[in-house]
């Protein structure tokens, strides 16, 4: 019997993007850890024979200094997705004109590193709007991965606001970052978004069915600081509930799942950064091996193509 299918993605949020979201002025020089982190996760993916969708920020693709590591991702056979140009987690506040510019800039920048057709999008900080969905349809995108059906978004937002020194205007910009309590009521399984311009398949970032608690690797690394064994049991429990409810997991990774606080001290405010880099990479590889053993793991584009004709549920924004 064939294993159930699942997908794997990585949001390639760079150091400057985290610093910008955190309100640190150092972001303006666009500091990057891509030359360090890209080889780390590519080596792990290669050892486990995994292919993923890597959502790339357009600003990174526009800078020549990042082309080397970004092309390594393409050359290794991974799918490239659109993760916006400026990586502002308040994309839902953009006007249609701003969004068109964001898409055009990102697509032009990604064309410098790959000849792939860009068919997938994920908004920074899980930001999404009706205008974004309509533009995805107009521009021929096949899937979106911007929804995160959990009730914990407001808690994550509160943590970021408490650990930063934003002005009132900056706090207002970030007032919807990571979503609202109502996002926890969104579907866990794939469905179609319908817009006046057509429809696009939604592949939600998975949370544990029924309880809707997150289990992407940023949370696992945070738990692993206390107990790697507890973190592993939590992950196995999440996957077991997915299988029991026939929910195909869409597992999300970030660069900081492969970097430790000893390697990126500027990111000490981020959950899970008390772990050393080599410890964190060993832990993440072990969790990915569990994932690969239980599921047939696909990039999101292949997952969408495999199941699209079978999905009948739809909704409007």
**Angle between the N-to-C axes of helices 277-294 and 228-244, in degrees from 0 to 180, rounded to the nearest 10:** 20
Sign of torsion, CA 100 299 286 278? negative
Counting every residue, how long is the chain?
Answer: 317
Q: How high is the pLDDT of residue 173?
A: 58
Q: What phi and psi values does residue 176 have, to the nearest 5 degrees?
A: -115, 10
What are the tokens at 122? 């994920």
Pairwise CA distance, residues 222 & 159, whole Å:
14
pLDDT in tens, the chain (317 residues): 789 999 999 999 999 999 987 778 889 999 999 999 999 999 999 999 999 999 999 999 999 999 999 999 999 999 999 999 999 988 999 999 999 999 999 999 999 999 999 999 999 999 999 999 999 999 999 999 999 998 765 655 555 555 555 666 655 555 566 666 667 789 999 999 999 999 999 999 999 999 999 999 999 999 999 999 999 999 999 999 999 999 999 999 999 999 999 999 999 988 899 999 999 999 999 999 999 999 999 999 999 999 999 999 999 99
Task: Confirm if 209 and 148 have CB atoms less than 8 A apart.
Answer: no
Pairwise CA distance, residues 105 & 164, whole Å:
29
What are the tokens at 79? 């799918």
Which residues is 195 bridged to in the sheet? 198
Q: How high is the pLDDT of residue 175?
A: 56
Give which of 98, 86, 5, 92 is closest to 51, Cα–Cα: 5
Residues 6 or more apart whose Cβ sits within 8 Å of residue 136: 121, 144, 200
Pairwise CA distance, residues 281 & 301, whole Å:
26
Class for domain 5-315, per CATH? alpha beta
Q: How high is the pLDDT of residue 26?
A: 87
Pairwise CA distance, residues 158 & 246, whole Å:
33
Q: What is the DSSP string of 180-231?
A: -GGGGGS-SS-EEEEETTEEEEE-PPPB-TTT--B-SHHHHHHHHHH-HHHH
Task: Confirm if 201 and 140 have CB atoms less than 8 A apart.
Answer: no
Task: Confirm if 113 and 71 have CB atoms less than 8 A apart.
Answer: yes
Which residues is 191 bridged to in the sheet? 202
Task: Confirm if 154 and 181 have CB atoms less than 8 A apart.
Answer: yes
Q: How high is the pLDDT of residue 228?
A: 96
């Amino acid at each position: 019997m064939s294993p159930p299918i699942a997908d794997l993605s990585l949001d390639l949020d760079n150091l400057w993007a985290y610093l910008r979201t955190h309100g640190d002025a150092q972001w303006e020089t666009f500091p990057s850890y891509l030359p360090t982190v890209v080889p780390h996760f590519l080596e792990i993916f290669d050892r486990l024979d995994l292919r993923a969708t890597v959502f790339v920020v357009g600003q990174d693709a526009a800078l020549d200094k990042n082309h080397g590591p970004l092309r390594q991702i393409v050359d290794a056979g991974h799918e490239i997705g659109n993760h916006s140009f400026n990586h502002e987690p308040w994309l839902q506040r953009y006007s249609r004109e701003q969004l068109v510019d964001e898409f055009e800039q990102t697509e032009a920048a990604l064309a410098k590193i790959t000849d792939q057709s860009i068919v997938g999008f994920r908004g920074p900080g899980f930001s999404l709007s009706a205008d974004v969905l309509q533009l995805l349809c107009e521009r021929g995108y096949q899937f979106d991965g911007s929804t995160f059906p959990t009730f914990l978004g407001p808690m994550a937002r509160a943590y970021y606001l408490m650990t930063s020194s934003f002005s009132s205007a900056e706090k207002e910009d970030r007032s919807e970052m990571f979503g609202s309590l109502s996002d926890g009521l969104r579907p866990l399984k794939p469905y179609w978004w319908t817009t006046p311009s057509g429809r696009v398949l939604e592949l939600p970032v998975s949370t544990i069915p029924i309880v809707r608690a997150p289990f992407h690797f940023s949370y696992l690394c945070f738990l692993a600081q206390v107990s790697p064994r507890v973190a592993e049991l939590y992950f196995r429990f999440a996957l077991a509930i997915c299988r029991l409810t026939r929910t195909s997991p869409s597992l999300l990774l970030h660069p900081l799942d492969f970097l430790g606080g000893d390697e990126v001290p500027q990111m000490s405010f981020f959950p899970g950064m008390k772990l050393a880099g080599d410890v964190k990479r060993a832990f993440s590889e072990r969790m990915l091996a569990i994932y690969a053993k239980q599921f047939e793991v696909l990039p999101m584009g292949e997952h969408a193509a495999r199941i699209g004709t079978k999905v009948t549920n739809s909704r409007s924004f």
